[in-house]
Amino acid sequence: MSEAEHAKSNVLYGMVIDLDKCTGCTACSVACQAENNISFLADDSNKVRSITWMEIYWLQNGKEYPDYQFTYLPRPCMHCNSPHHSPCTFVCPVNATRRDETNGIVSHIYPRCIGCRYCMVACPYHARKFNWYDPSWPQTMETMLSPEVSTRMRGVVEKCTFCHHRLLAARARAYLDGTELNTVTYTPACAEACPTKAIAFGNLKDANSDVAKLSKDQRAFRILEKLKTEPKVYYLSKHQWVHKLGDKGLSA
Amino acid sequence: MKEENKSASGKGVMGGIIFFAGFILALIIGWVVFPNLLYSQKPQPMNFNHVAHQDSSCEDCHAFRADGTYAGIPKVEKCKECHESPMGSTEDERKLVEEYIQKDTEIPWRIYSWQPDNVYFSHAPHKAKKVECKECHGIMGSEKTLPAYKDNRITGYSKETMKMIVCEECHAERGVNNECELCHK
């Protein structure tokens, strides 16, 4: 990959998650698990080795009642937009993970991955998970796997793809209908499943899109913004302590 | 000293001949024996004569679905529209009618261009960009018999399965995005 700035493109997919609307129901996480054929472990209570692309964090302000407050924070891959490279694409020795210059999505190609896990170390968001075991599902679930997403083998890293297969399907439809490709939008499984509509998804470069407007909202912040990784996942919260926790350990 | 030289050059000629013979043998193994060993030929359930179906257009059987996906080889339902009972007297048609249409089971065709699980391919963009069917599939309209299906003994994929380099080359030549995730899922 060249060291030049990102190529100019009219499409930049991003996500805005409204923490004030999130109830922590984990429907997004479950929908993601089903949509993307994420496998089960024999012991899924082992959170060091279990796999999820949409982790739900529980944050609290650490104060005593009546000032006590808490919030949930769903965390997909941030699809970092930093110039030249995302942290993960920079360290990958085999080009298995790359940022698509046309839409900003950071992809990961499993058969190319050698499982060195540099990207997991480089990712400041812990968005990447490693397949420690052969993938397995309860027998009845094997027939329900989605053919749109390939399953991963033992020894490779995986992460959220912004439901890239849904983009491809939407683009195929647009080709047949003759729709302008730059206007193609789609909804990832997590946003679709969210009962409170806390997750918005769309084109950040399109000034009229929900995500473009929300990302400029006063409540908007990004996690670990000071690292200059330029995440494309924005969060909304009216609480300053949540904004502060978003930069935890990096306070100026 | 002189004698040593002589024997050395004699050895050199002999060595050259052995090397050359070995080289030819390696070429034969590499170009002829191994490729034949690698692929096993598997029969299709029956023959399909594209020429005999010239009265219908390609799209009559190989159509797009409303959601933009490509239907590929038609279901037996489609065959039934004309072949409810035999129209001709060929053995293949008798097989079609008796074994598949009357029993209402799908024909287990072997698909020449079946792609691996981690590959996404949509016909829609290629059709929209006016890539002709024959550029990848050959001129099927004039085929009286189906081509031999060759199965790779190691990978289990057909010999006709398009290799990534072919996709990449064509995309590069036409200036299309060649990002991994465009074709991998």
- Structure confidence by residue, pLDDT tens digits, A43-59: 888 888 999 999 999 99
pTM above 0.80, yes or no: yes
Is residue A192 within 8 angstroms of chain B, CB to CB?
no
Nearest CA-CA distance, residue B109 and chain A, Å? 20
CA atoms within 13 A on the CB side of B172: 7
Cβ separation B181–A107 shorter than 8 A: yes
Measuring CA to CA, which residue among A208, A171, A8 is closest to residue A104? A8
pLDDT tens digits, residue range A103-132?
899 999 999 999 999 999 999 999 999 999
Measuring CA to CA, which residue among A5, A29, A7, A6 is closest to residue A17? A29
Is residue A102 within 8 angstroms of chain B, CB to CB?
yes
Measuring CA to CA, which residue among A40, A26, A45 is closest to residue A152? A40
Strands B39-42 and B149-152: antiparallel
Contacts 24+ apart (CB under 8 A), B162-170: B162/B113, B162/B115, B162/B136
Distance, in Å, from the CA atom of B41 to the CA atom of A137, rounded to the nearest integer, reads 34
**Predicted local confidence at residue B135, as pLDDT:** 87
Please give the structure tokens belonging to residue A203. Answer: 């084109």
Please give the structure tokens belonging to residue A92. Answer: 């990958």
Comparing alpha-carbon positions, the chain B residue that sits nearest to A96 is: B180
pLDDT tens digits, residue range B76-124?
888 888 888 888 888 888 888 888 888 888 888 888 888 888 899 988 8
Nearest CA-CA distance, residue A225 and chain B, Å? 27
- From the list B180, B181, B185, which residue is nearest A148 (CB)? B185
As to burial, measured by CB atoms within 10 angstroms (0-12 exposed, 13-18 middle, 19+ buried), residue A220 is middle
**Predicted local confidence at residue B39, as pLDDT:** 87
Instruction: Between A250 and B59, name the one with better pLDDT.
Output: B59
pLDDT of residue B8 exceeding 70 = no
pLDDT of residue B7 exceeding 90 = no
**Predicted local confidence at residue A251, as pLDDT:** 54
- Where are the domains positioned within chain A? 14-246
Nearest CA-CA distance, residue A174 and chain B, Å? 8
**Predicted local confidence at residue A17, as pLDDT:** 96
**Predicted local confidence at residue A29, as pLDDT:** 95
At the topology level, CATH places domain A14-246 in Alpha-Beta Plaits (3.30.70)
As to burial, measured by CB atoms within 10 angstroms (0-12 exposed, 13-18 middle, 19+ buried), residue B57 is exposed
Question: Cβ contacts (< 8 Å) between A109 and chain B: which residues?
Answer: 118, 180-181, 184
Cβ separation A168–B185 shorter than 8 A: yes
Q: Tokens 């302008």 identify what position?
A: A180
